[in-house]
Amino acid sequence: MAVNLQNIVSMSDIEEALQLFYLEGMRYQLNEETSAFLAQIEKTTENVEGWDIVMALRYGRSGGIGNLATDASDLPRPNARKTKQAKWQTKNLAARFMLTDKTIEASKTNVASFARQLETQIRETETDAAQDLSRQVMTDEYGLLAKIDEDDSSKTTWEVDSVQFLVEGMQVDIYAGSADSIRDSAECVEIVAVEENEHDDDEAPTITLAESKDLEDGDEIFVYGNRESELFGVSSIFDNDEDIYGLDRSTYPWLKAQIYDIADNGSNQDLSQTDLQKAIDGSAKRTGAEIDFIMCSFGVKRSYQALLTSDRRYHNTMELEGGWQVLDYNGIPLVADKYMHPNKMFLLDLSDWAMYQMSDWKWLDMDGSMFSRVADKAAFEATLIKYCDIGCEKPRGQVMIEGIKEY
């Protein structure tokens, strides 16, 4: 993505470079290289009305189909398939970066140095935005990252149930359990260290906060400002106890995805060819869906590779849109994603999925300028923004296998 920026000498030159040289590259990175799943699904403005997504969910069978007892019998009574309208607001995704006035001023005498700094700022913003978007694609609207896993007095280092979604430098809100209140003013607190301890069974994963807090076991951690406002990621489809797109799944059971639990008395089991085929057949049998995409964690991917080895089969690979190299299960791509929850596998019909968006990623520049002053600082900031969400037209056609032993 490197470009020649030697002619940048003013703020208008910087804006022109961001618009002409960087925007398309950043769009490609965020749309195609963030997530193998996101790269495969359609990005569309259809079904977007104002800032709302309006999606028609079709279910049931058509009437008017049947046999006549005699050639003089009445024709079958027509009855159209049922439709339930789902309507919800697009989510607001943003990525910001800042340039100090001193850095901009230095560009007048050292353009090459400034160009390198601008490249670095944009590359880091792009990378971090892609990581957060990739996580949201795999999780759910609630946005839970982890839970505090101990009770103690005020301190900075805390045990957590998982650090899969946590990283140094992340700014988080910590809520009092599942309540709506933030614990001990733990709003926009920075995580300064993350310890996974995955090779030590006696040590729980931990995080260290930038300042001491009084927390309790079960307190919930979210990206700053994101609680209950993230994308309807893939995991949302498989949480059958929660509403989806504003609709109650207990009222509309056809909105429930199919779930196969292969655990035996709570103990995770090795994946088998029969498990996979049963899930695929179940989707086709109940909905007519065609499973054409499989996602899992890295541990489950290794479980699948162990299955192939035990069956003396080769690990065939295939290349997807966006350049993703993945495993092949009978012609179906099998993708490992670092943000996939452990011990699970998602089997999807991609034709049912889309990223509904008001527009593609764009710079926030409706006031005529891409840059705005940062309050109380000698600096300017630019913001890349997108209004969108992920939708699935046929949740029942999607399948999850859980209880898989990881390798």
- Residue 1 pLDDT > 60, yes or no? no
Q: Say if residue 316 is in the same domain as residue 337.
A: yes
In a domain, 239, yes or no: no
Question: Is the pLDDT score of 6 beyond 60?
Answer: no
- Is the pLDDT score of 111 beyond 80? no
Query: Closest by alpha carbon to 14, among 374, 320, 398, 363?
Result: 363
148 and 133 in one domain?
A: no
Other Cβ atoms closer than 10 A to 118: 22
3-state secondary structure of 228: coil
- With b meaning 16 or more CB within 10 Å and e meaning fewer, what string describes 121-135? ebbebbeebbebbbb
Mean pLDDT, range 206-224, rounded to an integer: 96
Give the number of other Cβ atoms within 10 Å of residue 400's Cβ: 23
* Residue 4 placed within a domain: no
State what percent of residues in the chain have pLDDT above 90.
Answer: 66
Q: 401 to each of 290, 345, 348, 404, how far by Cα in Å?
A: 16, 5, 11, 7
Same domain, 149 and 179: yes
Radius of gyration of the chain (CA): 25
Q: Are residues 385 and 350 in the same domain?
A: no
What's the chain's average pLDDT?
90
- Parallel, antiparallel or unpaired: strands 332-336 and 293-296: parallel
**17-26, 231-240, 294-303, 341-350: segment of lowest average pLDDT:** 17-26
Ordered alpha helix ranges (H), 64-110: 101-106
Asked, for residue 230, whether it belongs to a domain, the answer is no
Q: Which two tokens stand for residue 348?
A: 């999807």
Question: Looking at the domain assignment, is residue 65 inside a domain?
Answer: no
Shared domain check, 136 and 17 = yes
Lowest mean pLDDT among 76-80, 82-86, 383-387: 76-80
Q: Cβ(216)–Cβ(178) under 8 Å? A: no
- For residues 361-384, average pLDDT: 89
Q: What would the mean pLDDT of 190-204 be, rounded to a whole number?
A: 86
Per DSSP, the residues of 177-223 read TTSSSBGGG-SSEEEEEEE--TT-TTS--EEEEEEEE---TT-EEEE
pTM metric for this prediction: 0.88
In terms of domains, do 337 and 260 share one?
A: yes
Q: What are phi and psi of 30, to 5 degrees?
A: -75, -30
Q: What does the pLDDT average to over 53-80? A: 78
Same domain, 38 and 134: yes
Residue 363 lies in a domain: yes
pLDDT for residue 404 is more than 70 = yes
16 membership: H or E segment, kind and range: helix 11-17
Please check whether residues 398 and 258 belong to one and the same domain.
yes
The whole-number pLDDT of residue 2 equals: 45
Asked if residue 228 belongs to a domain, the reply is: no
| Residue 274: CATH number of its domain | 3.30.2320.10
Contacts of 191 (CB under 8 A, 6+ apart): 166, 167, 168, 169, 170, 171, 172, 207, 208, 209, 210
pLDDT, residue 81, reads 66
Whether the pLDDT of residue 4 is over 60: the answer is no
- Split into its structural domains, the chain has a count of 3
Per-residue pLDDT band for 164 (boundaries 50, 70, 90) equals: very high
pLDDT of residue 8: 54
Q: Write down the pLDDT at residue 140.
A: 96
CA terminus-to-terminus distance, the chain: 37
pLDDT tens-digit profile of 269-310? 999 999 999 999 999 988 888 999 999 999 999 999 999 887
C-alpha distance from residue 206 to each of 167, 202, 338 (Å): 11, 12, 19
Rounded distance between C-alpha atoms, residue 233 and residue 223, angstroms: 15
Per-residue pLDDT, 80: 63
Give the pLDDT of residue 314.
Answer: 65
Domain containing 154 equals 144-223
User: Looking at residue 172, what DSSP letter applies?
Assistant: E
48 with 93, same domain?
A: yes
* 155 and 126 share one domain: no
Q: Is residue 5 part of a domain?
A: no
Residue at a domain's end among 180, 208, 223: 223
87 shares a domain with 52: yes
Q: Looking at mean pLDDT, say which of 116-130, 347-361, 364-378 comes out highest.
A: 347-361
Q: Which residues pair with 115 in a beta bridge?
A: none
252 shares its domain with 347: yes
Answer yes or no: is pLDDT of 184 > 80.
yes
